[in-house]
Structure 1
């Protein structure tokens, strides 16, 4: 099994309540119900206000590398990524569990 973690940092001046951000969050929130490869799916705003903290996080799991690639290629995932690319940057970690 593979755990897939993504941490998002909003670009300078971008607020959580902006329409495009709200829409981007909604696009990610629904992925757990849309992408069959996802065995687990969590996403939420970070509650930490530490200076090094990122703003939003995704934590999910898939069965294997092939399932991870199908998730990454899924049209709904790609649509969400396209939205987030306009207002945030991110880092990822994928590891076997």
Structure 2
């Protein structure tokens, strides 16, 4: 099993109520139902206010590396990524559990 973590930081001057951000969140919230490779799916806003904190997180699991590739290449995932590229940067970690 592989855990895929993504932490997003909104770009300078971009707020959570920006329509682009709202669309991006909606796109990611739907992925758990749209991509069969996902064994688990969580996404949510950070609830703390610290200088080093990121703003939004995705935490999901897939069965193996092949499933991770299928998830990453899935059109719904790619569409969500395209939205988030407009207003954020992110870091990822993929590890076996």
Identify the TM-score tier after normalising by the shorter chain.
Answer: over 0.9
Aligned position for 1:50: 50
In the TM superposition, what whole-angstrom CA distance separates every residue of 1:5-39 from its partner, at most 9, and x where no partner exists? Answer: 00000000000001110000000000000000000
Summarize the alignment of residues 14-25 of structure 1 with structure 2, pairs less than 5 Å apart.
14-25=14-25
Aligned position for 1:87: 87
TM-score by length of 2: 1.00
Instruction: Confirm whether residue 4 of structure 1 aligns to residue 4 of structure 2.
Output: yes
CA distance in 2, matches of 1:31, 1:37: 10
The secondary structure found in structure 2 opposite 1:39 is strand
- Stretches of 4+ aligned residues off by more than 4 angstroms: none
Q: How many pairs does the alignment contain? A: 97
The secondary structure found in structure 2 opposite 1:94 is strand
CA distance in 1, matches of 2:90, 2:18: 18
Gap regions ≥5 residues in structure 1: none
Summarize the alignment of residues 30-69 of structure 1 with structure 2, pairs less than 5 Å apart.
30-69=30-69
TM-score by length of 1: 1.00
CA distance in 1, matches of 2:46, 2:24: 15
Deviation at 1:91, TM superposition (A): 0.1
